[in-house]
Amino acid sequence: MKVRVFVSLKEGVLDPQGKAVGHALASLGFKNVGDVRINRVVDLDVTAENADEARKEGEAMAKALLANEVIEDFNVEVVA
Amino acid sequence: MKVRVFVSLKEGVLDPQGKAVGHALASLGFKNVGDVRINRVVDLDVTAENADEARKEGEAMAKALLANEVIEDFNVEVVA
Amino acid sequence: MKAGVVVFPGTNRERDMAHALTLASGQTPKMLWHQEESVDGLDLVIIPGGFSFGDYLRSGAMAAHSPIMTAVRRFAEKGGYILGVCNGFQILTEAQLLPGALLRNAGMRFLSQDCHLKVEGRDSIYTKGWSAGDVFRTPMAHGDGNYTASPEMLDRLEGEGRVAFRYCREDGHVQVDDPQINLNGSARAIAGVLSENRRICGMMPHPENLTDPAIGGTDGLPLFKAIVEAFGV
Amino acid sequence: MSLTVDGELARSFGLTAEEYDKVLAIMGRTPSLTELGIFSVMWSEHCSYKSSRKHLKTLPTKAPWVIHGPGENAGVIDIGDGLAAVFKMESHNHPSFIEPYQGAATGVGGIMRDVFTMGARPVANLNALRFGDAEHADTRRVVDGVVRGIGGYGNCMGVPTVGGETNFHRAYNGNPLVNAMTVGIAQKDRIFLSAAAGVGNPVVYVGSKTGRDGIHGATMSSAEFDDESSSKRPTVQVGDPFTEKLLVEACLELMATDAVISIQDMGAAGLTSSAVEMASKGEVGIDLDLDDVPQREANMLAYEMMLSESQERMLMVLRPDRTEQARKIFEKWELDFAVIGHLSDTGRITVRHKGNVEADIPLGPLADEAPIYDRPALNKEPPAYLTPPADPVGIEKALETLIASPDLASRSWIWNQYDSTVLGQTVKRPGAADAAIIRVEGTSRGLAMTTDCTPRYGQADPYVGGLQAVVEAWRNVTATGAQPLAMTDNLNFGSPENPYIMGQFVQAIKGMGEGGRALDFPIVSGNVSLYNETRSDTGLTSAILPSPVIGAVGVLDDIAQAVGLAMPEDGELLLVGETWGELGQSLWLREICGREEGAPPRINLVAERRNGDFVRQQIRQGAIKACHDVSDGGLLVAIAEMAMASGVGCYLQAHPRELSMHAYWFGEDQARYVIATSQADKLMAEAEKAGVPIRRLGDVGGSDLRFAYGTRLDVSHLKALNNAFFSRFMGEG
Ligand SMILES: Nc1ncnc2c1ncn2[C@@H]1O[C@H](COP(=O)(O)OP(=O)(O)O)[C@@H](O)[C@H]1O
Ligand SMILES: [Mg+2]
């Protein structure tokens, strides 16, 4: 099964990459852009009996490694 | 409007990060994990008249900066 | 003093660290491979710089979950002394042995240059080679050194005297919003922090690379001298 | 793939009709697709040196301290204490234009593999970069990616990047140069070579898995850039420095045992060239079974596996009784390890895949009958000596303009992105001295290293271009107090099929050879990069400036003797060497007058050697506190650079009457050094004894440059001008 773990910086944590990209976009002439945030998506092939189990596995992996809960939130989706 | 640009490595392009994370997950005891790919999501606030325009802006930004089309594919979604 | 230097796949400043310790103590530290399951019997565990596991995903993340870190955590719980430099600092925060996290440098570029640090932390073996307020020069070399923590945590660190080092100008002036001084954009210009019991220290710059008179100077040596003094040779 | 192998396909693989006929004759039948692939990469310019070999043979490559000259993965020289320095330079020009980050990164990865393949631990990286016009729209993208890529790979590997050079010129628009050099240290009796031996011995593959990366990279790098290169884009390879770090540690651990008989990195043309080279050098046959090759992707064809340029891989021949021990080492480092074949006595390379023989080629003819060309070479008449124009701006303004210009601006923006201190042995970091210096760990010895080339001189006169690159590299090593020992090179030129470009190539090599012989300075390794041209929409091609880049290595017995640019607080400045005021092809002429004209400065090898030997000897005796060779921008720029490096100023006497003021201060006469000393009288006397021209420049001290003409320039003002270019150019700060 395909599991997608979506990791984003917690609200309130400054995103230096997003900020730099926002700057760069503005200087390229994209004037309609406000806030930019850069997040990470981890796509995993997981062998599991069913979607529920796959999600659980994804959550465990997110907690164990894929996200740093001090600064990041995550969200797990079973895609297929 | 919220525009989400999803950037992933082209098929066949080595993903060193995904490879290392796959290894690490296996050694943490996640035995059911196969291929791992790490992708990037850029979330943007875009001022636009309508969804179509926002998508176009997102596509232009992806081409200009957010994705490296030599090795990456991208996909733009208007989220809200 | 019995010191051990942890080596992960991708660690690359272990020799530099060993060299500095040897210069300060006359003894070579033990190298600890990341798969070892015990660090018992050591006075001090050092996690040196480098790119453990390529620093892929997040700097230090994968190393923080290596087998040896279970032992290091146990060591910490028993009151052990741990120093993490650069990648070592990142690993200690990822392992939550130190508060906060290290984000990408504000300028988005790798920074390799000399910087100046103001010594602030009180009562730690890592800072007592200097007097509070002293300034010393040290190289830095990192891409993710932008320290962040919640405002409450930052206040707490300040209040408890747990900010070990701050980026400053040569004359000691600290200016958080000046990218020429606070080079990587760290919150409150923090370059190093201490644990609650002051036995764990993490810092981004590399004092170990300025300990040899033949290699640019000995500005970083007091850190190592003080450590050695604390434990005896 | 249902491609029909015929002359047309061969042409699309880069083989000419005659070359394809030769293939048919060797095979006695139509080759298979895999066989055609093997011939095409082995006979590519990149692997066969078909246009350059004849001329490379004329280079001086021997000296008592040379252990291995050209022909191995890297050159090896004796540096004393039972140790050897192992070094080479290599280009990644084309990939760095297509994808600057990955192109530069994999270039650095590739050259490090060449060095640790020989059993050396890489201890320093350098690079030589040429970018397009700073005003050109695309240059910023290339600079940004290349610098990040070099840092990204080297920093992660933990190998300090300690030096290099960077120039901008419109001739590199669309065709930047990224030349990377690595220096390693090995025990001199533990050098590993690539010649295979021992029929029946296992052929072992280690490192990363094979994917469909960069197929036909070797032929592509020998093809002119054109609009079609965009369709070739997915062939860009992604570097994995973490895996390479594991690979270097695993290889060095293995090499400490006696398991390795021969070893070869998989660089350009991957498995094909490594297997063919190992077997042909050892005069044995080689049987490969591709089913056992670690693969990253499903359903790869034999053709694809043989031509893949996936990075971070090595091929080795091991002692059979040590194979399990070796496997354990690679397992410890979590790297793939697979026996993929064995050596045979057939003299052929045989490739099996899924039970079929996909290739079966006699190695002798594959190597011996490789095409070799004596391409027609024509020379342009070198330009006449310049009649110097009048000074339109005055020397103060000219100095300000020059040090702020792209080619002379401070490169700290670049080197601050490279870890230059890791390993803890860096004595002179980037910008501190004319050559970088690292300590040889565990000794008091130092290695001095530099890369040099002045392409604008070569454009005017390719012979002088080749010669001057050699003497400048020699001078830069000398200016630290080190003894220059040997060179590596990277010859970047346009298409050898253009007789004028072939002429540039031949002349440059002639100049390099001349310089190397006169200075006892052999060339022990190198790389050739041809077809550096861009074709515009209108079909016109334009070539880069001829760029024979030299990398040099020297030795210092005691690092405590090393000197750099920074002047002490007081003392005197002296100029060693003679000044005629040569403004032809000078930066002054280009930046102040907007002209690129005239003959480049003359080179007198006797003076070079005499002046250099004198300076080195005086440094070693402790008589010189700071030293800088005079090159781009001339005397006043050299002095300003010393002042900026130290924050200390000086008083400068007037120019000699027989020269015009600007010719004296900005002429680029060769064989000169500015030195700071507190023993001026003694030095003057000794120079006279040695027949070395020397003159007093002025007194060190203060915080500005004070001219005898009454004007002054503040050093901090100069520094600000010097530092402004890169951040402005990159739109930062
Ligand atoms: N310009 C040159 N000057 C001297 N030696 C050269 C030059 N070009 C190539 N060589 C030598 O030819 C050999 C093959 O080089 P190359 O094909 O670049 O090696 P690799 O297969 O490692 O890429 C090496 O020993 C190299 O040092
Ligand atoms: Mg090689």
Mutate which of D527, D528, D529, D553 to test ligand 1's pocket (most atoms within 8 Å of Cβ)? D527
Give which of B63, A54, C214 is closest to D558, Cα–Cα: C214
- Report pLDDT for D216: 66
Report the distance separating Cα A1 and Cα D61, nearest Å: 60
Contact B43 A37 (CB under 8 A): yes
Shortest-distance Cα residue to atom 14 of ligand 1: D71
Q: What is the pLDDT of residues D231-251, one digit of tens each?
A: 333 568 899 999 999 999 999
The pLDDT score that the predictor gives to residue D213 is: 87
Residue of chain A with shortest Cα separation from B36? A44
CB pairs under 8 A between A and B: 99
Q: How far apart are CA D619 and CA C136, in angstroms?
A: 31
**Cβ neighbourhood burial of A60 (10 Å; 0-12, 13-18, 19+):** middle
Residue C208 among the catalytic residues:
yes
Nearest residue by C-alpha to atom 2 in ligand 1:
D526
Closest CA to D553 of D112, D125, D55, D105: D125
The reported pLDDT for the residue numbered D538 is: 82
Closest Cα in chain B, distance from residue D495 (Å)? 26
Q: Both tokens of residue C148?
A: 């962040």
Q: What is the pLDDT of residue A80?
A: 84
Helix orientation angle between D462-478 and D499-518, rounded to the nearest 10 degrees: 30
Shortest distance between the Cα of D416 and any Cα of chain C, in A, equals 5
Which chain D positions have a beta carbon within 8 Å of C139's beta carbon?
421
* pLDDT at position D384: 95
| Cα–ligand 1 centroid distance for D120 (angstroms) | 17
Residues 6+ apart with CB under 8 A from C93: A70, C60, C99, C100, C101, C102, C202
More confident residue, D535 or C81: C81
Which atom from ligand 1 is nearest to the alpha carbon of D75? 27
pLDDT computed for residue D234 by the predictor: 52
Task: Please check whether residue D124 is in contact with residue D439, taking contact to mean a CB–CB distance below 8 angstroms.
Answer: no
- The answer to whether the CB of D179 is under 6 A from ligand 1 is no
pLDDT beyond 90 at D368: no
Q: Quick check: D21 pLDDT over 80? A: yes
Q: How confident is the model over D270-275, as a mean pLDDT?
A: 95
Subunit contact C12:D416, Cβ cutoff 8 A: no
Indicate if ligand 1 lies below 6 Å from the C-beta of D45.
no
Give the tens place of pLDDT for each residue, D63-99. 999 999 999 999 999 999 999 999 999 999 999 999 9
D114 Cβ closer than 6 Å to some ligand 1 atom: yes
- Counted across chains B and C, CB pairs separated by less than 8 A come out at 20
Assess whether pLDDT exceeds 50 at residue D226.
no
Run of H or E residues at D356: strand D356-362
Task: Provide the pLDDT for residue D331.
Answer: 95
What confidence category does residue D584 fall into, taking pLDDT thresholds of 50, 70 and 90? very high
Query: Quick one: pLDDT at residue D215?
Result: 81
Residues of chain A falling short of pLDDT 50? none
- Spell D456-475 as b/e; 16+ CB within 10 A means b: bbbbbbbbbbbbbbbbbbbb
Instruction: Check pLDDT > 80 for residue D636.
Output: yes
Check if the beta carbon of residue D600 is closer than 8 Å to that of residue D457.
yes
For residues D234 and D229, give the distance between their C-alpha atoms in angstroms, rounded to a whole number.
10
Mean pLDDT over D604-621 rounds to 98
**CA D110 / ligand 2 centre spacing (Å):** 8
Kindly indicate the confidence band of residue C233, based on its pLDDT and cuts at 50, 70 and 90.
confident
What is the Cα Rg of chain A in Å?
A: 16
Please give the mean pLDDT across all residues of chain D.
Answer: 95
Distance CA D412, CA D644 (A): 13
Dig out the tokens for D711 from the structure.
């004007």
CA D647 vs. chain centroid, Å, equals 31
Contact criterion met (CB below 8 Å) for C112 and C139: yes
Closest to D175 measured CA to CA, from D690, D575, D530, D649 = D530
Q: Is the CB of D525 under 6 A from ligand 1?
A: yes
- Is the pLDDT at D522 greater than 50? The verdict is yes
